[in-house]
């Protein structure tokens, strides 16, 4: 048996070395000869630097870029035709074979596997608000003055690597902690709940305070507390007693200290010396699960199960996951995962249609568009609907304001969002949502480019490169067209050599949505009164001309959509960008989804039971 393992190990090592040799001899040589001129050390058009992919390890870590190279070379978009020395057919065949072999190995898991590593990360603004709410019961926004959290990894603001700290932020934490504790003390009901035990006499004052502080510290630190955790809190309490303060007032300082303690503000997962990889503790799993589904701390039931060591049981983990999905708190997943991935969170304060051009766009409409996305995703989650309904569905959620804006046949009254049947299939799914159509437009006009880029990136996981510096600009106002429709202007723009390659993939997707104006209304004519031309054709003679046909096209490749959504959700759940060794996990989850009708809860269950979610590696 030992000799068998040695033989297998030698074969695996030989295979890796052979792949490295092929990369050096074929891929790197091709890139150097045909790509470095525009994407090398001296110049990086579109921000793409291929000279850094100089080894097999670098290629693995840039596997998504490798996928893009495969597509560009296969479609003859790259290298460009104006290059002095064009690759021969044999060269292209060889490099595509080598790159595809690398891609297949990544997706199948035939590369070094590990669970991945998340760095120490602080609570972002939303997590801070929800955690303080669940810890002390306050109901306001204490993080309002915090700096905005940047996005990292797959584009989420809960990515550890993007959650920086600063002296200014630490001052904001202290200010917020004081406000939270002040609200507790101003509300008799809250104060009674937080300070749930009172001493019967002077002799048990400290013991009673310890009971209160131990309970809240366990919740705040998301684990069992030690004497080292409690000692500073008890000293702060004792100082109050020594200066003549009452029992309740003496608890103010330690309760405030809880909220500025790094154990509260930061989520940490401890290393296990001497191991390359290990399973997280039950408390760490509970914390990951709660912040994934609720953007908040574990509740008492989850703490109790973690404390009993039962969360490592797959059946218990599944049961708890489904319980948490059914909780009202899981709306946070719709707000902060779907909101950032699909983009409807931009309706809060980023989307700004021109007030003179679109006077109908007011606060009520903005709010309704935002909540349509939340209600729709929450419905998928709670009712366990297929994720493919994000692409095509026969319903949406609307109130009277949004129903009128969409021209829905169903009679909808009141301000409350409600499920509404869709009879015209131009709506239904995210492609017909006002929030998506508005946030992928400019203030005074639609943008087929922005809409096409959004579809490629957010839905299909095939982002287009950024435009080159000399790409030029299109007019911000489509009424200033000089006799041309905006589409005709865009067609002229895309004929430029530096633009044609990418626009051939981007623009047709956006053209098929041109019947939607810049605030998501259906229209038959453009801003100049000319008929809308929504006909589109992608490379490969793929023709379509309406939202319905675009949906059918995407549904025909739903495996690609499912893979992208899985990648996005796994990154959000783990709080890190995905690596090449995660792709095999993604493939495994998507294969499972295919047998489970792509149900939303199945996707979540597969993620929380996955190696990256339950384990931690010594190295990244």
* 277 φ/ψ angles, rounded to the nearest 5 degrees: -155, 150
Q: What's the confidence (pLDDT) of residue 65? A: 82
404, exposed or middle or buried, with CB in 10 Å at 0-12, 13-18, 19+? middle
Q: How far apart are the first and last CA of the chain?
A: 31
Strand partners for 421: 395
226, exposed or middle or buried, with CB in 10 Å at 0-12, 13-18, 19+? exposed
Q: What angle do CA 417, 297, 193 make, to 5 degrees?
A: 90
Report the alpha-carbon distance of residue 273 to residue 413 in Å, rounded. Answer: 61
pTM: predicted TM-score of the whole model, two decimal places: 0.91
Measured on CA atoms in the order 299, 305, 309, 315, is the torsion positive or negative?
negative
Report the alpha-carbon distance of residue 55 to residue 52 in Å, rounded. Answer: 8
* 152 φ/ψ angles, rounded to the nearest 5 degrees: -140, -175
Based on its alpha-carbon atoms, the radius of gyration of the chain, rounded to whole angstroms, reads: 28
Task: Calculate the CA dihedral of residues 469, 470, 471, 475 and round it to 10 degrees.
Answer: 100
Nearest partner of 592 among 562, 612, 555, judged by Cα: 562
Longest dimension (CA), the chain: 91
Structure tokens at 48: 């793409």
Q: What's the confidence (pLDDT) of residue 480? A: 65
Mean pLDDT, 10 residues at a time, over the chain (620 residues)?
39 47 73 83 77 82 82 77 78 86 84 89 96 96 90 89 89 96 97 96 94 97 96 97 97 98 95 94 98 98 97 97 98 98 95 96 98 98 98 97 95 96 93 98 95 96 75 76 75 66 85 97 92 91 95 96 98 95 96 98 98 92
Question: How many Cα atoms occupy the beta-carbon half-sphere of 287 within 13 Å?
Answer: 25
Report the alpha-carbon distance of residue 532 to residue 513 in Å, rounded. Answer: 10
- Determine contact, residues 212/251, Cβ cutoff 8 Å: yes
Strand partners for 542: 538
Q: Which residues contact 518 (CB under 8 A, 6 or more apart)?
A: 353, 357, 358, 437, 438, 441, 442, 443, 444, 445, 446
Report the alpha-carbon distance of residue 62 to residue 243 in Å, rounded. Answer: 61
Paired sense of beta strands 266-267 and 121-122, if any: antiparallel
Q: What's the confidence (pLDDT) of residue 499? A: 62
- Determine contact, residues 398/418, Cβ cutoff 8 Å: yes
Report the alpha-carbon distance of residue 461 to residue 455 in Å, rounded. Answer: 8
Alpha helices in 495-557 (DSSP H): 497-511, 547-556
- Determine contact, residues 224/234, Cβ cutoff 8 Å: no
286, exposed or middle or buried, with CB in 10 Å at 0-12, 13-18, 19+? buried
Let me know how long the chain is: 620
Residue 158: strand, helix, or coil: coil
Nearest partner of 475 among 447, 496, 515, judged by Cα: 447
Strand partners for 537: 543
Label residues 128-160 b or e (16+ Cβ within 10 Å = b).
bbbbbbbbbebeeebbeebeebeebbbbbbbbb
Distance of CA 368 to the CA centre of its chain: 22
H/E stretch holding 537: strand 536-538
Measured on CA atoms in the order 480, 482, 486, 489, is the torsion positive or negative?
negative
Structure tokens at 175: 């200010």
Q: What is the per-residue DSSP string for 292-315? A: HHTSS---HHHHHHHHTT-TTSHH
Residue 619: strand, helix, or coil: coil
Structure tokens at 463: 């982002």
Q: What's the confidence (pLDDT) of residue 296? A: 98
H/E stretch holding 615: strand 615-617
Structure tokens at 606: 């597969």
How many angstroms separate the Cα of 156 from the Cα of each of 164, 466, 583?
14, 19, 19
Residue with structure tokens 């009424």? Answer: 479
């Amino acid at each position: 048996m030992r000799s068998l393992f040695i033989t297998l190990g030698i074969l695996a090592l030989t295979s890796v070395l052979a792949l490295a040799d092929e990369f050096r001899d074929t891929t790197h040589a091709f890139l150097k000869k045909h790509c470095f001129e525009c994407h090398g050390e001296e110049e990086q058009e579109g921000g793409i630097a291929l000279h850094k992919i100089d080894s097999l390890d670098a290629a693995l870590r840039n596997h998504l870029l490798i996928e893009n190279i495969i597509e560009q070379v296969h479609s003859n978009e790259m290298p460009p035709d104006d290059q002095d020395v064009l690759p021969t057919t044999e060269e292209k065949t060889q490099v595509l074979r080598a790159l595809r072999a690398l891609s297949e190995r990544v997706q199948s898991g035939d590369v070094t596997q590990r669970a991945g590593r998340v760095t120490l990360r602080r609570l972002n603004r939303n997590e801070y608000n929800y955690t303080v709410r669940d810890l002390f019961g306050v109901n306001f926004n204490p993080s309002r003055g915090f700096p905005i959290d940047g996005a990292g990894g797959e584009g989420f603001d809960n990515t550890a690597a993007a959650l920086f700290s600063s002296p200014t932020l630490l001052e904001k934490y202290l200010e917020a902690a004081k406000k939270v504790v002040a609200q507790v003390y101003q509300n008799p009901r809250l104060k009674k709940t937080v300070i749930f035990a009172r001493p019967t006499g002077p002799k048990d004052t400290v013991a009673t305070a310890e009971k209160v502080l131990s309970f809240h510290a366990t919740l705040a630190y998301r684990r069992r507390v030690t004497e080292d955790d409690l000692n500073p809190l008890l000293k702060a309490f004792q100082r109050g007693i020594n200066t003549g303060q009452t029992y309740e007032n003496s608890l103010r300082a330690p309760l405030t200290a809880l909220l500025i303690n790094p154990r509260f503000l930061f989520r940490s997962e401890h290393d296990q010396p001497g191991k390359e990889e290990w399973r997280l503790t039950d408390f760490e799993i509970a914390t990951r699960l709660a912040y994934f589904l609720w953007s908040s701390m574990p509740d008492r039931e989850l703490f109790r199960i973690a404390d009993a060591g039962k969360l490592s049981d797959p059946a218990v983990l599944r049961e708890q996951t489904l319980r948490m999905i059914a909780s009202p708190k899981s709306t946070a997943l719709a707000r902060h995962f779907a909101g950032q991935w699909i983009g409807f969170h931009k309706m809060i304060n980023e989307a700004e249609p021109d007030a003179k051009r679109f006077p109908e766009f007011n606060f009520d409409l903005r709010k309704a568009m935002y909540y349509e996305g939340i209600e729709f995703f929450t419905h998928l989650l709670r009712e366990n609907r297929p994720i493919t309904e994000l692409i095509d569905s026969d319903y949406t959620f609307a109130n009277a304001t949004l129903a009128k804006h969409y021209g829905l046949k169903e009679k909808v009254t009141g301000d409350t969002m409600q499920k509404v049947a869709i009879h015209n299939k131009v709506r239904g799914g995210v492609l017909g949502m006002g929030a998506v159509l508005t946030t992928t437009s400019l203030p005074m006009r639609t943008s087929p480019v922005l809409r096409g880029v959004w579809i490629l990136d957010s839905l299909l996981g095939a982002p287009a490169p950024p435009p080159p510096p000399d790409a030029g600009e299109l007019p911000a106002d489509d009424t200033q067209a000089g006799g041309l429709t905006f589409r005709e202007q865009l067609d002229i723009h895309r004929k430029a050599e530096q633009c044609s390659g990418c626009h051939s993939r981007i623009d047709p997707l956006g053209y098929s949505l041109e019947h939607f104006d810049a605030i998501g209304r259906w229209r038959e004519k453009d801003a100049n009164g000319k008929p809308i031309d929504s006909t589109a054709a992608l490379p490969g003679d793929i023709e379509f001309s309406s939202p319905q046909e675009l949906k059918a096209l995407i549904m025909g490749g739903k495996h690609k959509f499912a893979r992208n959504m899985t990648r996005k959700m796994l990154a959000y759940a783990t709080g890190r960008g995905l690596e090449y060794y995660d792709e095999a996990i993604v493939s495994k989850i998507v294969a499972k989804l295919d047998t489970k009708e792509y149900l939303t809860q199945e996707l979540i269950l597969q993620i929380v039971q996955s190696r990256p979610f339950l384990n931690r590696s010594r190295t990244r």
